[in-house]
Homo-oligomer: A and B are copies of this chain.
Amino acid sequence: MADIVSGKEVAEALKQKLVDEVDELKSNGIIPGLAIVLVGDRPDSLSYIKGAQKRCSEIGIDCRLVQLPADTSEEEFVSRIRQLNQDRSVHGILVMRPLPATISEDRVKYEISPLKDVDCFNPVNMAKVMSGEEGGFAPCTPSAVMEILDYYGIELTGKRVVIVGRSMVVGRPLSMMMLKRHATVTICHTRTVDLAKETSRAEILVAAAGKARMIKKDMVGSGAVVIDVGINFDENGKMCGDVDFEAVKELAGKITPVPGGVGSVTSTVLAKHVIRACRMLIDQEG
């Protein structure tokens, strides 16, 4: 029977550290600021924003929502990003994705200042994730996975890690982050032949495929650490992960639930990144 990993516990512990950091910044007259840019009104984006705003407010970060109409042109969007790049009260910028089809992500992603790019939208930051260079920002979700592993003292060096999913928001960057920490990393996806054979070998298995309960009990090795990044809704409208939690918990060593796992840590990681961006600016200005 697996230990159930509590994302909330990880988030709370991280939050306490961040509150102290913000207190210190405030005693020097500095309030870390985050601008969340939303074009349109997608319900999933609004739901994420609500959680992020709550978290920021608990930690003492000034969180501002910049909501633009769904028909905002690319030029208007870029001009707004440039204003935020210049705005000295804004230390972090989060652009909610996907953007509407009228705005090309592949063009506008270069506009956000890499120093304020707290969720790794700008390719400059993605390249740093790939090379392992310090001083950039990794995307919040794979960073939340790393926070969980570190909180529970799960060593990565030499471990066989299998990641299911090759997206740019989780699978690919996480593979590079795990590699930097000296894990032996395998990336699987929809075209993998005999997925169960691959996943069964994992000492640490990360499910980030976006398919409800696809990781079954016979796909997991006994004692494995199972990290579920999926957020899906089943046929009854119930939120669930990519892992068949009830069955897999019988044999895993550790497992993250959904909800209450990785997703509970993401917004606190976002806050951590904003505070780091704020400190970087202070350091830069001396």
Contacts and interface: CB of A to CB of B under 8 A. Distances in A.
9 contacts: A123-B128, A124-B124, A126-B131, A127-B130, A130-B172, A131-B172, A158-B191, A184-B198, A186-B186
Nearest to A133: B106
Interface in A169-214: 172-173, 175-176, 179, 182, 184-189, 191-193, 198
Nearest to A183: B191
Given A126-B131, A127-B127, A130-B130, A184 B176 contact: no
Interface string A94-133: 0000000000001000100000000000011011111101
Given A130-B176, A182-B189, 5 more contacts: A131-B168, A131-B172, A179-B189, A184-B198, A185-B187
A193 B159 CA distance: 7
Nearest to A120: B127
A67 interface: no
Contacts of A188: 184
A201 to B, nearest CB: 9
Nearest to A134: B106
A166 B179 contact: yes
A110 B110 CA distance: 13
